[in-house]
Structure 1
Amino acid sequence: MPVDGSVDRRRDAPANLGNGNGVVLPIHSARRLRLNPNTEHKPDSYDDVQLEFSPLLFSSLERYLPPTMLNMSRDAKVQYMREILMKYSPEGERNRVHRHREYKQKIISNYQPLHRELYSMHATNFFVPSFLRAINDNSESFRSVVSEPAPGIFIFEMLQPRFCELLLSEVENFEKWVCQTKFRIMQPNTMNKYGAVLDDFGLETMLDKLMNDFICPLSKVFFSEVGGSTLDSHHGFVVEYGINRDIDLGFHVDDAEVTLNVCLGKQFSGGELFFRGVRCDRHVNSETQPEEILDYCHVPGRAVLHRGRHRHGARATTGGNRINLILWCRSSVFRELKKYQKDFSSWCGECQRKKKERLELSVSATKLELLKRDEEPLPKLFLSNFLEI
Structure 2
Amino acid sequence: MAAGSARPGRKGFLSCACFFTDNLFLPRYGLHVRYAGDPEQLRREYGPALRQRGCRTEEEFTAVIQEIEKEVKRRKELSYRSKERKAIISRNYRPKHPELYSLQESFLAPKFLETVKYCTSKEADLQGLLSRVETISDKRIYRLPVFAKEFCQAFIKELESFEHSEMPKGRPNSMNNYGVLLNELGMDEAFITPFREKYLQPLAALLYPDCGGGHLDSHKAFVVKYALKEDLDLSSHYDNAEVTLNVSLGKEFTDGNLYFAEFREDINPVPKYIEVEHVLFHGLLHRGGQMHGALPVTSGERWNLIIWMRSSIVRNQLCPMCNRTPELVEADGFGEGFTSNFDDSQPETVDLCSLI
With structure 2 as the length reference, what TM-score do the two structures score? Answer: 0.66
In the alignment, structure 1 residue 161 sits paired with structure 2 residue 149: yes
**Which has a greater percent of helix?**
1
TM-aligned CA distance change 1:193 to 1:289, over 3 Å: closer
Contact 2:141 2:286 in 1 (8 A): yes
Distance 2:296 2:262 in 1: 20
Pair 1:131–1:288, CA change in 2 (3 A): farther
2:33 matched to 1:53? no
In the alignment, is residue 107 of structure 1 matched against residue 95 of structure 2? no
Larger radius of gyration: 1
Equivalent position of 1:117 in the other structure? 99
1:186 to 154, 167, 170: 170
What is the rounded CA distance, in whole Å, between the counterparts of 2:197 and 2:8 in structure 1? 21
State the alpha-carbon separation in 2 of the partners of residues 244 and 236 from structure 1.
Answer: 24
Q: How does 1:149-228 map to 2 (within 5 A)?
A: 149-151=136-138, 152-177=140-165, 181=166, 183-205=167-189, 206-228=191-213
**Residue type of the alignment partner of 2:133:** V
Question: Contact 1:52/1:97 (CA < 8 Å) preserved in 2?
Answer: no
Query: Residue type matched to 1:131 in 2?
Result: F
Q: With CA pairs under 8 Å and 6+ residues apart, which has the higher RCO, 1 or 2?
A: 2
Does structure 2 conserve the Cα–Cα contact (< 8 Å) formed by 1:52 and 1:94? no
What is the match of residue 292 of structure 2? 312
| Offset at residue 275 of structure 1 (A) | 0.4
Provide the alpha-carbon RMSD of the alignment.
3.0
Instruction: Determine the C-alpha separation between the residues in 1 that align with 2:293 and 2:233.
Output: 8
- Where is the strand percentage greater, Structure 1 or Structure 2? 2
Determine whether 1:277 maps to 2:268.
no
C-alpha separation in 1, matches of 2:199 and 2:270: 32
Residue identity in the other structure for 2:115: A
Match of residue 134, structure 2, among 131, 143, 147: 147
Matched, 1:136 2:117: yes
Q: 1:95/1:193 Cα in 2 relative to 1: closer, same or farther (>3 Å)?
A: closer
Q: What is the CA–CA distance in structure 2 between the aligned matches of 1:232 and 1:103, rounded to whole Å?
A: 25
Paired residue secondary structure (1:337): coil
Identify the match of residue 331 of structure 1 among 286, 299, 311: 311
Distance 1:325 1:56 in 2: 26
Task: Specify the alignment match of 1:296 in structure 2.
Answer: 276
- Cα distance in 1 for partners of 2:12, 2:193 equals 8
The Cα of 1:52 is off from its aligned counterpart by 6.0
Q: Secondary structure at the match of 2:316?
A: helix
Give, in whole Å, the separation in 2 of the partners of 1:235 and 1:324.
14
Letter in 1 for 2:91: S
1:383 matched residue in structure 2: none
Q: Distance in 2 between matches of 1:145 and 1:133?
A: 9
Q: Is the 8 A contact 1:131 1:145 kept in 2?
A: no
Letter paired with 2:147? L
Aligned-partner Cα distance in 1 for 2:141–2:279:
15
* TM-score between both structures, scaled by the size of structure 1: 0.61
Looking at structure 1, the residues matched to 271 and 96 of structure 2 have their Cα atoms a distance apart, in angstroms, of 47
Task: Give the partner amino acid of 1:317.
Answer: V
Q: What are the Cα deviations for residues 72-120 of structure 1, in whole angstroms up to 9, with x where unaligned?
A: xxxxxxxxxxxxxxxxxxxxx9986465334312211111111111111
Unaligned runs of 5+ in 2: 15-74, 326-349
Unaligned runs of 5+ in 1: 9-50, 59-92, 353-389
